[in-house]
Structure 1
Amino acid sequence: MFDMLLSPFLQYGFMQRALFGSLVLSVSCAPVGVFLMLRRMSLTGDAMAHAILPGAALGFVFFGLDIIPMTIGGLLVGLLVALGSGVVARFTIQKEDASMAAFYLISLAVGVLLVSWRGSSVDLMHVLFGSVLALNDAALALIVSIALVTFVVLLIFWRALVAECLDPLFLRSVSRIGAPVHFLFLILVVLNLVGGFQALGTLLSVGLMMLPAAASRFWSNEVRAMCLIAISIAVVSSIGGLLLSYHAAMPSGPAIILTAGVIYAFSALAGRRGMLASALTSGRHKTA
């Protein structure tokens, strides 16, 4: 048992780096995912994850697999897409979900074409699915920096974020910070997706953000508790996924997300607010 659980992380430096990066991402992304879920913007997070691809691809075209240009490009384009879809939704008859879908589909197509034009299929797979086992010092520094920014913003604006999430009309009626807090939150989403992109690629980066958050909903109804549960699930998913990828020779990113998916399925079935609990409660009501 010791060899199975601890030996990979004690023997190999790349596993230690992968574990550190995944754990920091777990602690940073999971609370953001909870707020996305409560805002009913889960698919928006997925769309924004795809939207960073053209910026990262432009950095790749001109500088290769250099983390700084790809990160800056992904961040700028992600914010541009979020802002552009919001402007279209605000000044036209189109809803935000439709405009976001249009922007993300265009972004995904442009990004894949750019990477395919300059690089090989291996480069395309790296950009789309990441490589958590190949995190370098620059990538780890970026992930830690994004986590610190996330912690500071959540600490300072926690009450405003919760209020804007649960009752945005009330917040706007009593304060003028509603719109700035919403935009600040979108920046947090893009930042964490850019951090996740380094390890999990553009297609899977949203998985570590949304699956633990969605699973936490089956265990609690309180925002702070859901954030803590989501972090715990993300941490377990990261450790379990890395061990699964090591012992079963699986790609590490998909293994982490698959582990989170298994925990989500278990939570949906056996959680305090899951299907079994609902069935038992309804059965008691019928008996009574």
Structure 2
Amino acid sequence: MFERERTRHRFTARPATVTTVTDVGDYVRVTLSGDTFADFASTGPTDHMRVYFPNPVTGELVAPVADGDDGITRPAAQTFGRDFTPLNVRDTGTTRSVDIDILRHADAGPAAQWGARVAVGDELVVVGPRGSASAPQDAERALLVVDGTALPAASRFVELLPESTDIDVLVYGDVTEDAARAYLGDARRYTVTEAQLELTDEARDLAPDAGTFVFAAGEASALLPLRRYLRRELGLGPAQAAVSGYWRTGVVAWDHHAPIDPFDPED
């Protein structure tokens, strides 16, 4: 339906050092860089990289290591890896830097616990992104349905979609309209709606049509009825409606590659 250029990147494990820590609304923005970041690339809004954090009890950092030019060796010991959207990839002086935004939230896991006390000089390991799929350049309209974990990905869509694309952002969970606008900034025009009803009802009111690309991501259980509406009622295939569960209530380290609908898993 919509064209999304796909690019493969060198897949490796990169030791990373924290160079800057900034508060951005409900997030801690952590800037990472390192000696192996010169060819780090992320060109798509749905890119993700696996960030490995220290053990929250012992403080030991256990993570994959680079295996040759393209590949990694995974350790036998327990790791504490979480997926993040790469943000603001840029060259700074003689090195390349990338940001991750860590959401502050209750019942903090290893990432949020680390983010609450992060300091310049702290070390992590980053794996990926393995590849990128570009923002669709031929969509007349984009509907972005996101909670706090997926708002960074929405910001990349806002950045990478053509100026000709009308953008509607539907936020749910604990994200307010004001918080979303503050996070996304005012670099271009878009609308933000704060979900008050079921996501399916809200999306129906926003009327996605044949010219609309839909990106929905966040808590998997909340997205399930919406995915069924998009797939079964509207008949939108995965090329037009990309739906991804970034986390699931009650599940530790949910794999966002896992299908959110066990009765219709294909994406």
TM-score normalised per structure 2? 0.28
Instruction: From the CA coordinates, give the structure whose radius of gyration is larger.
Output: 1
Q: Which has the higher strand share?
A: 2
Q: Which has the higher helix share?
A: 1
Structure with greater contact order relative to length (CA < 8 Å, sep ≥ 6): 1
TM-score normalised per structure 1? 0.27
